[in-house]
Amino acid sequence: MAHVPSNIILLLFLLVSFHVNVIAEEDEANIIKPGSSLYAGKQPSSWASPSGNFEFGFYRQGEGYAAGIWLVGRPENTIVWTAKRDDPPVSSNATLEFTRQGVLLLRTEDGVGNVIANLSGVQFVDSASLLDTGNLVLYENRSVVWESFDIPTDTILGCQNLSLDSELISSVSSSNHSTGHYHLLLKSDGLVANLNISSAAAYEYWVSPNGFSSPVLNLNESGVLALSSSQNFDQENVLANGSTTGNETMIIYRATLDHDGVFRLYSHQLESNTMSNKWQNLDDECEVPGRCGLNSYCSTSRGNDTECYCYPGFIFIDENAKFLGCSQNFTVDGCETKRDVVIHHNSTTLDNMSWAGNLYSVKRNLEREDCKKACEDDCSCGGALYTPNHCSMYSLPLKYGRKHVSITTTAFIKLIPGRSTISPPPETSPNQSLILTMGLSLGSVASLCFVIAICSFLLYRHRVQSYEKLLDSKSSGFAEQFTLRSFTLNELDEATQGFQDELGKGSFGAVYKGTLPGDGKSIAVKRLGMVKEGERDQFRTEMTAIGRNNHRNLVRLLGFCVEGSRKFLVYEYMSNGSLADFLFNRNERPVWKQRARIALDVAKGILYLHEECEVSIIHCNIKPCNILLDDSLTAKISDFGLAKLLRPNQRSSTSGTAWYPAPEWQNSALLSVKVDVYSFGVILLEIICCRRNIEVEGRSADEILLSTFVYNCFVGGELNKLVEGEEEVDMKMVERFVKVGLWCIQDDPNLRPLVKNVILMLEGTMNVPIPPSPSLPHVTN
Ligand SMILES: *[C@@H]1O[C@H](CO)[C@@H](O)[C@H](O)[C@H]1NC(C)=O
Ligand SMILES: *[C@@H]1O[C@H](CO)[C@@H](O)[C@H](O)[C@H]1NC(C)=O
Ligand SMILES: *[C@@H]1O[C@H](CO)[C@@H](O)[C@H](O)[C@H]1NC(C)=O
Ligand SMILES: *[C@@H]1O[C@H](CO)[C@@H](O)[C@H](O)[C@H]1NC(C)=O
Ligand SMILES: *[C@@H]1O[C@H](CO)[C@@H](O)[C@H](O)[C@H]1NC(C)=O
Ligand SMILES: *[C@@H]1O[C@H](CO)[C@@H](O)[C@H](O)[C@H]1NC(C)=O
Ligand SMILES: *[C@@H]1O[C@H](CO)[C@@H](O)[C@H](O)[C@H]1NC(C)=O
Ligand SMILES: *[C@@H]1O[C@H](CO)[C@@H](O)[C@H](O)[C@H]1NC(C)=O
Ligand SMILES: *[C@@H]1O[C@H](CO)[C@@H](O)[C@H](O)[C@H]1NC(C)=O
Ligand SMILES: *[C@@H]1O[C@H](CO)[C@@H](O)[C@H](O)[C@H]1NC(C)=O
Ligand SMILES: *[C@@H]1O[C@H](CO)[C@@H](O)[C@H](O)[C@H]1NC(C)=O
Ligand SMILES: *[C@@H]1O[C@H](CO)[C@@H](O)[C@H](O)[C@H]1NC(C)=O
């Protein structure tokens, strides 16, 4: 340790002499030679570009330093690039070394080297230079082998291009240049800005006017920001023109995705030392989701100022930092605690609102007042958004709230008795342009990946004009509960308006949304594979058998259509999408109580199929994608009876294998109701953990397979890991559910319980023994 100071002195001496040398040779002034270093806590701490406008080196970040490039003092230093931006700040003892091997190294105080530019494969990196454009480049024999322009952080400068599939990512704040949450991606159909908090979901809030099939984003020296075709630079689509006609000659332009999510073009006038904002992608900055925190909304009420406001009944978490959001002055909702007392909730109405959050129910065909009442009467409801015929109910917290005249949705915020009402909502300025209604688009995301599959309606030349009705032809009323209707292709074409609204694709084909002309009932029309001549009668017979099954936890089959070689099934429409969406495609986990109820619903649906309907039905392919949720989040199984329809030799070609195949699936002779119990077990574990059976990304080896992960947690007494971060979870119940799940996925079908016992165990009426490991060979005695 004692010899360290002498080293430093030696280095200092070397550097000073190096510096002097460099300055002495005018031509070489900005060529950085291998072997040179920079120091965070002492001089030299940076290298300058020839003009002196840009510098590369250490700048202050928090308590320490970060390494990067900045535009010098116009009016103050502007950081335009940071190396290793997510590494913690380094201390004053850190160094930047351009080693003799041509590696640019950031060395922390304890000597750990962190490579900024590693040029494996390049043999003779012989110099580096910070150009007047702000680009740091490394050369091999005078040709560029690495440049900082290729790896932008949140900024592009004049002369810099953003290439296809690259992105700018905002900084955390104006003083913290680590990676923030806003992304600006150059995709093949243009520039897209999104908020990306979890790897699962990104909320797009801006898309550039369309560009070219494979575009490049370019900011040129005269401040023109344009998308151009990478094939032909003459074709371009100017996004912004920052050039000024004035006599100011020295201007540096930069385009930055700022920490607030707005993409802005700035010009820095070097002579007058001023900076101005020439353009930004959003007129109304409230369009950026997350501008205001939870339970608050953004509005541009006065002039162009955006401001955050609490919803009525909420107060700011911090009056001095309103963007942090709001909270209720109440922690307990009256209706949770006083179950027997009827509490009349009131709600406040806010017009022109949109938000996002935990959308748990969409009710259709409700009047405005009924929507308001539906929310007031529902314990889970924190607020509802209403558009004619569409009532979307959200539980708290509400996020990405926004109020703007262009939004046509009306919001109802439930008031808890005793809560104080806060200041009235502001008026929005009338002259703002239109936008994304965040809440609505998220709502439709939730109802996406809809189920099953239905048909693309290809024109079929030889339309079979006549059709036979399966049942009495008078039974055309849809109201008739247990009658299956036979539809014509024309009728379905009309009901779905030419098969336009595709809800999703399933294992059989597409599923389309439609409306029955008679009573306006929403339906889902699903296309099945082709029927062969001679199979039609059989199809009808089987459909009739399926149609007789009617249970709260089965999706109701309303009718079917066989015409020519095509066949369709018509189901009731489930407004809340599939269980897969519900569990995996949301930002927040659905609450435990809802999940537990859904698990029981699914088990009851299976029980009906196995034991309660006329002919026992083995579903064979129960999966989160064909379990659907209705208005009130009741789970209903769909696609039942279809596996049976497909002859054994068809199974592999038409429907593939089961989603969660039980081990005995290979041998169809052994297939029993226990196949469904196996699938249920996997789904139960998925419901408990809100993750898919197999997840590779970000998982360690023993976490990839859910069953192994759950079993390990169970054996290790760490069940809380499965519901980490959740509130209001009944751990006893979780343990019971986990044990049941592990019994259901035993390799040996004989060990799996019957579904009626599954239900008794889930409900807690029957004791659940300790399950063995699901996949280990079971040793008897
Ligand atoms: C910058 O923000 C990141 C992410 O929020 C945080 O981890 C880091 O500590 C912050 N750095 C400083 C210097 O405040
Ligand atoms: C820098 O190094 C010196 C000498 O090793 C040491 O005394 C000092 O504490 C270090 N400073 C920091 C901030 O690590
Ligand atoms: C640079 O990359 C090469 C190949 O990836 C690696 O072998 C070498 O160790 C790296 N150099 C440094 C200093 O990390
Ligand atoms: C660079 O120069 C070295 C030595 O003169 C030579 O061996 C090498 O091939 C050159 N590399 C390139 C890419 O020209
Ligand atoms: C969010 O950003 C990360 C890092 O850029 C990326 O890997 C991930 O795919 C993004 N998520 C989405 C949904 O775009
Ligand atoms: C950047 O794009 C412009 C056209 O937009 C093109 O003229 C220029 O050559 C590109 N520069 C680089 C380094 O690719
Ligand atoms: C920048 O782009 C605009 C539009 O293509 C063009 O008119 C202008 O000459 C360019 N400026 C420079 C310095 O290339
Ligand atoms: C940009 O604006 C300047 C000054 O207003 C004008 O002279 C120039 O033609 C414009 N360039 C483009 C590409 O629109
Ligand atoms: C720019 O023009 C204004 C008058 O139009 C003059 O006062 C100013 O000195 C000029 N600036 C430069 C840098 O020429
Ligand atoms: C609002 O912004 C517009 C254009 O960005 C500008 O013309 C107007 O002066 C601004 N109004 C206020 C009050 O800042
Ligand atoms: C919040 O509740 C506390 C205690 O009930 C009360 O003292 C306070 O005034 C309330 N604040 C508001 C803004 O209602
Ligand atoms: C609800 O609002 C009505 C009308 O403003 C009022 O008469 C009633 O007392 C309120 N009820 C509660 C529980 O606050």
Distance 416 CA to ligand 12 centre (A): 11
For residue 314, report the distance from its CA to the centre of ligand 7, in Å: 51
On whether 373 is known to bind a ligand per the annotation, the reply is no
Strands (E), 564-613: 566-572
Q: Within 532-591, where are the H helices? A: 536-547, 579-584
Ligand 3 atom 8: residue of nearest CA: 120
**In a shared domain, residues 91 and 137:** yes
**Ligand 11: which of 315, 326, 329, 419 to mutate, most ligand atoms within 8 Å of CB?**
329
pLDDT in tens, 3-56: 434 443 333 333 333 333 333 333 445 788 888 899 998 888 999 999 899 999
Give the angle 421-427-432 at the CA atoms, nearest 5°: 140
Q: What is the mean pLDDT of residues 327-339?
A: 54
Does the beta carbon of 202 sit less than 6 angstroms from any atom of ligand 5?
yes
Q: Which residues line ligand 9 (CB under 6 A)?
A: 247, 271
Asked if residue 335 has pLDDT above 60, the reply is no
- pLDDT computed for residue 255 by the predictor: 96
CB 224 within 8 A of CB 278: no
- The sheet carrying 160-162 orders its strands as 160-162, 215-219, 224-229, 236-241
Ligand number, closest to the Cα atom of 171: 1
DSSP string computed for 631-681: TT--EEE-STTHHHHS-GGGIIIII-S-SS--GGGG-GGG--THHHHHHHH
Quick one: 157 exposed, middle or buried, by C-beta within 10 A (0-12, 13-18, 19+)? buried
In this prediction the pTM is 0.58
**Ligand whose nearest atom lies closest to the CA of 119:** 3
**Taking 90 as the threshold, does the pLDDT of residue 99 lie above it?**
no
Q: Is the CB of 196 under 6 A from ligand 5?
A: yes
Which of 179, 181, 175 has its CA nearest to residue 63? 175
Q: Which of 196, 197, 584 to mutate to test the pocket of ligand 5 (most atoms within 8 A of CB)?
A: 196
d(CA 681, CA 661): 11
Report helix, strand or coil for 624: helix
**Do 590 and 697 have their domain in common?**
yes
Is 466 a member of any domain? no
Our mutation pick for probing the ligand 8 site, out of 218, 243, 247, 251, counting the most ligand atoms within 8 A of Cβ, is 243
Ligand 7 lined by 240 (C-beta under 6 Å): no
Nearest CA to ligand 6 atom 1: 161
The answer to whether residues 768 and 706 touch, using CB atoms and an 8 Å cutoff, is: no
**Residue closest by Cα to atom 4 of ligand 12:** 346
SS percent in the chain: helix, strand, coil, step 5: 25, 30, 45
- Provide the 10 A C-beta neighbour count for residue 188: 11
CA of 186 relative to ligand 7 center, distance in Å: 21
User: Which residues, judged by CB distance below 6 Å to any ligand atom, belong to the binding site of ligand 3?
Assistant: 103, 115, 118, 120
Do 532 and 385 fall within a single domain? no
Question: Is residue 537 included in any domain, yes or no?
Answer: yes
pLDDT grade for 111, boundaries at 50, 70 and 90: confident
Name which residue sits closest to atom 1 of ligand 10, judged by CA.
304
Determine, yes or no, domain membership for 309: yes
pLDDT in tens, 726-742: 888 999 999 999 999 99
> Looking at the structure, do residues 383 and 515 belong to the same domain, yes or no?
no
Peptide bond between residue 397 and the one before it cis (omega within 30 degrees of 0): yes
Interval between CA 346 and ligand 12 midpoint (Å): 6
Q: Please say if the pLDDT value at position 509 is more than 70.
A: no
CA of 201 to the centre of ligand 5 (A): 8
Please tell me the distance from the alpha carbon of residue 100 to that of residue 33, in angstroms, as a whole number: 8
Q: How many CA atoms lie within 13 A of 552 on its CB side?
A: 9
- Residue ranges of alpha helices (H) inside 454-518 are 489-495
How many A from CA of 118 to the centre of ligand 3?
6
| Residue 197: inside a domain | yes
CATH number, residue 725: 1.10.510.10
Which alpha helices (DSSP H) does 473-578 contain, by range? 489-495, 536-547
From the list 607, 632, 634, the residue with the least C-alpha distance to 622 is: 607
Same domain, 590 and 711: yes
Across the chain, which distance is largest between two alpha carbons, in Å?
A: 103
Token couple for 463? 């339309």
Residue 446 to residue 440: CA distance in whole angstroms: 10
Range in 102-116, 252-266, 640-654 the model is least confident about: 640-654
- pLDDT attached to residue 557: 85
Please report, for residues 503, 605, 634, the alpha-carbon distance to residue 576 in angstroms, rounded to integers and kept in the order given. 12, 18, 9
Testing ligand 7's pocket by substitution, the residue of 160, 224, 250 carrying the most ligand atoms inside 8 A of its CB is: 224
Over residues 628-638, mean pLDDT: 92
HSE-CB at 111 with a 13 A cutoff on CA atoms is 1
Is residue 170 domain-shared with residue 244, that is, in the same domain? yes
The alpha carbon of 281 and the centre of ligand 5 are apart by a number of angstroms equal to 21
Residue 420 CB less than 6 A away from ligand 11: yes
Give the single-character DSSP code of 383.
Answer: E
How many domains is the chain partitioned into structurally? 6
Q: Are residues 380 and 291 in the same domain?
A: yes
Domain holding 503: CATH number? 3.30.200.20
Q: How far is the centre of ligand 1, averaged over its atoms, from the C-alpha of 498 (Å)? A: 53
Pocket test of ligand 12: the residue of 338, 346, 377 to mutate, having most ligand atoms within 8 Å of its CB, is: 346
pLDDT in tens, 343-400: 567 889 999 898 887 777 777 778 899 999 988 888 778 899 998 777 888 888 888 8
> Poorest-confidence range of 37-41, 458-462, 669-673?
458-462
What confidence tens digit (pLDDT) does each residue in 532-583 have? 556 677 777 777 767 777 788 999 888 888 776 677 889 999 999 899 999 9
Q: Count H helices, E strands: the chain?
A: 13, 41
Among 373-387, 459-473, 491-505, the least confident range: 459-473
**Cα–Cα distance, 41 to 320 (Å, whole number):** 35
Residue 425: inside a domain = no
Say what the pLDDT of residue 12 is: 37
- Distance CA(779)–CA(781), nearest Å, equals 6
Ligand with an atom nearest the CA of residue 272 = 9
Shared domain for 138 and 272, answered yes or no, is: no
Within a domain: 346: yes
Which atom of ligand 4 has the smallest separation from the CA of 143?
Answer: 13
**Within a domain: residue 756?**
yes
Percent of the chain with pLDDT over 90: 31
What's the confidence (pLDDT) of residue 363?
Answer: 77
Identify whether 88 is preceded by a cis peptide bond (ω within 30 of 0): no
Per-residue pLDDT at 507: 55
Binned at pLDDT 50, 70 and 90, residue 446 comes out as: very low
Q: Are residues 132 and 176 in the same domain?
A: no
Domain of residue 647 covers 579-763
- Per-residue DSSP letter, 92: T
Residue-level pLDDT at 761: 93
192 lines ligand 5 (CB under 6 A): no
Ligand closest to 62 (CA) is 1
329 Cβ below 6 A of ligand 11: yes
397, 415, 433: which is the final residue of a domain?
415
Residues with CB under 6 A from ligand 12: 344, 346, 417
Average pLDDT over the chain reads: 77
**Ligand index nearest the alpha carbon of residue 177:** 1
**C-beta separation of 631 from 391 below 8 A:** no
Closest residue by Cα to atom 9, ligand 6, is: 233
- CA 224–ligand 10 middle distance (angstroms): 22
Same domain, 729 and 603: yes
Cα of 512 to ligand 9 centre, how many Å? Answer: 66
> How many A from CA of 243 to the centre of ligand 8?
6
Specify the pairing of strand 263-269 against strand 274-280.
antiparallel
pLDDT at 516 over 70: yes
pLDDT above 50 for 680: yes
Is the same domain home to 703 and 584? yes
- Lowest-pLDDT range of 185-189, 489-493, 504-508: 504-508
| Ligand 1 site, CB within 6 A | 61-62, 89, 172, 176, 178
Give domain status of residue 776, yes or no. no
Q: In angstroms, what is the span from residue 330 Cα to ligand 11's centroid? A: 9
How far is the C-alpha of 298 from the C-alpha of 306, rounded, in Å? 7
Last residue of a domain, one of 282, 315, 337: 282
**Whether residue 106 sits in one domain with residue 90:** yes
Question: Which of 218, 241, 278 is the pocket-test mutation for ligand 8 (most atoms within 8 Å of CB)?
Answer: 241
Say if residues 37 and 15 touch (Cβ distance below 8 Å): yes
